[in-house]
Structure 1
Amino acid sequence: MNIKDILVHLDGDKVDSGSLALAVAQAKRFGARLTGLFARKEISPTAMVARHPSNTLLAQADAARKTFEEATAGLDTRWWQIIHGAENDLLGEAVFCSHYVDLVIVSQPAAYGKNVPETMVEQIILNSGRPVLVVPVEYKHRPLGKHVVIGWRSAKQAARALHDCLPLVDGAEQVLVASVRGFSPMDKTLPQVDIIDHLRVHGLPVSGERVNTEGLGVMDSLLSRAYDIDADLLVIGGHPGRSLSFSGKAGAGTRHILAHASIPVLFSC
């Protein structure tokens, strides 16, 4: 699947610069339409109750739109905003908007501070049904998808993430698939499937590696390998926590990557 419709979340703060720069680069790369989505919590209790935006929130939305329009001059764009800023509604509506694009780009949760609901990024990953590219706080723009680490296990989330990343890694110079459990079934009565072989069919320069977790957790091992090869993209499946409710948080591994990754991460769930 090619990427033709991208959404980038903006909150009208300086954090927008990294995610917007990456979104613009991908829109140019794929000839895609780029939608800017303003979503930010309201700080005025009166405005929240009335569901009428405060002057502060309106000014923040205007600033975000101006930044977006300046950065995307000459591109096919549109602008959406969730303007009432009520926290519970903002969560659901941000996820709702994410259903209607090919790729969602957001900032790392820590970058937003208290500007958005604490679990907004997690909820978009878990409930949008779309690949979500999370941009780190101190992002320094570079070409995306040239040196890639893919975290692999034979599970729905990892399989979806691997498939969703294919347009982004087209033309990659190095793709490292890292797995704790290996790449082929231990049970020799099963068909001897191999995810490395599958990626080679796509013409990718791929290699596989068993993750050494001695002294480190699985997620830290993935981050370490990404650092070792100077990766510009990490690809993993996003996993829910134990709660099955919409407001439930992501699993511990997903939250760890969200908190500690220093490169863009593509999540699919």
Structure 2
Amino acid sequence: MPIKTILLHMSNDDRHSQRLEAAVGLAKRFSAFVEVLFVATPVSMPAAVTGRAASYAYIAEATAIAHEKAEQIEQEVRQALKDCSYSWTIEEGDHVELLAARAVYADLAVVTQSHDDERGDRVMLQVPDRLPLTSPCPTLVLPYAKPSAAAIGRHVVIAWKNTREAGRAVRNALPFLKEAERVTVVTIDPPGHALDSGRDLMIWLERHGVRSQHQANIFQGGDVGDVLVSACRELGGDLLVMGSYGHSRLREMVLGGATRTVLAKLEVPVLMSH
């Protein structure tokens, strides 16, 4: 499916400009409409805030500040997207629930990796962790520290294993894959396994006009997520495509080990689907 609607997560945080710049580049690249959703409710709550009254006061104050900042951010959006079609909406509530509800009508959602300091917060909304598990469209998670102007998708690295989640991620990534200068299929197999586990995917990609190469890895123990991050770095990839593993039930979330590690140690944008 082509990317014709991009859902952009905006809030009063220090990486909203990074997401905006990335969305602008993608909108121009794919001739896509950008739906900008500004959520005034704070993204996270400091661990020092305890107790119902204190939590309510913090959220109320942070939300009021966000509404005050919204006009300035809207001006940024208007200037950045002046050559694109877009909409601007302000909402309050759970970021993931609001994004997931709008993702039904989008082809790609754009969010930012959580900052290291925020992972220790007592109350975290965990947008990049939860959204891929609840969104019907793929989620592009941008690294917190990476410059927004960095290239996305010249060399796409696919983390492949024959699962529903990985298969959905590759299908959702086809618009990027068809435009990529290079595509590498990375597999991690147990000792003694045949080293052609990426062959069938590569044949399927070829039928879609995507030529790829295969890097086979034999699992020697440790964290699969670390292997994927290292492989992407060594290959010089600028976009990682992978399935998002885990489940989300109400506000409980259990991520698969590789998914958790990649989201924590992300060095390049990752396109995730569940």
| TM-score (ref. length: structure 1) | 0.84
CA–CA distance in structure 2, aligned partners of residues 181 and 214 of structure 1 = 9
Q: Residues 171-182 of structure 1 correspond to what in structure 2 (within 5 A)? A: 171-181=179-189
1:204 — aligned with what? 210
CA shift for structure 1 position 203: 2.1
Identify the match of residue 214 of structure 1 among 203, 212, 220: 220
Q: More displaced, 57-66 or 232-241?
A: 57-66
Q: Does 1:119 align with 2:107?
A: no
1:41 — aligned with what? 41
Q: More displaced, 37-46 or 215-224?
A: 37-46
Instruction: Check conservation: 2:12, 2:66, Cα contact below 8 A.
Output: no
CA–CA distance in structure 1, aligned partners of residues 63 and 166 of structure 2 = 42
RMSD over aligned Cα atoms: 2.8
Taking a change above 3 Å as real, the CA distance of residues 246 and 230 of structure 1, as seen in their structure-2 partners, is same
Taking a change above 3 Å as real, the CA distance of residues 54 and 13 of structure 1, as seen in their structure-2 partners, is closer
Instruction: Check conservation: 1:105, 1:132, Cα contact below 8 A.
Output: yes
| Percentage of identical aligned residues | 30
Instruction: Check conservation: 1:95, 1:124, Cα contact below 8 A.
Output: yes
Q: More displaced, 144-153 or 63-72?
A: 63-72
Ranges in structure 1 where 5+ consecutive residues have no aligned partner: 187-191
CA–CA distance in structure 1, aligned partners of residues 144 and 26 of structure 2 = 18
Q: More displaced, 218-227 or 246-255?
A: 246-255
2:145 partner amino acid: E
2:48 — aligned with what? none
1:12 — aligned with what? 12
CA shift for structure 1 position 97: 1.9
Ranges in structure 2 where 5+ consecutive residues have no aligned partner: 46-54
CA shift for structure 1 position 246: 5.0
Partner SS, residue 109 of structure 1: coil
2:166 — aligned with what? 158
CA–CA distance in structure 2, aligned partners of residues 212 and 66 of structure 1 = 51
CA–CA distance in structure 2, aligned partners of residues 78 and 199 of structure 1 = 34
1:168 — aligned with what? 176
Q: Residues 237-252 of structure 1 correspond to what in structure 2 (within 5 A)? A: 237-241=243-247, 244-252=249-257
1:34 partner amino acid: V
1:159 partner amino acid: G
CA shift for structure 1 position 17: 2.1
CA shift for structure 1 position 249: 3.5
CA shift for structure 1 position 54: 5.0
Partner SS, residue 272 of structure 2: strand
CA–CA distance in structure 2, aligned partners of residues 256 and 39 of structure 1 = 27
Q: Residues 21-170 of structure 1 correspond to what in structure 2 (within 5 A)? A: 21-42=21-42, 45=56, 55-83=64-92, 85=93, 89-110=94-115, 113=118, 117-140=124-147, 141-170=149-178
Taking a change above 3 Å as real, the CA distance of residues 53 and 234 of structure 1, as seen in their structure-2 partners, is closer
CA shift for structure 1 position 153: 0.8
Q: Does 1:268 align with 2:265?
A: no
Larger strand share, 1 or 2: 2
CA–CA distance in structure 2, aligned partners of residues 19 and 255 of structure 1 = 21
In the alignment of these two chains, the number of paired residues is 254
| TM-score (ref. length: structure 2) | 0.83
**1:44-66 CA-partner distances (Å, limit 9, x unpaired):** 725968xx995313113223222
1:13 partner amino acid: D
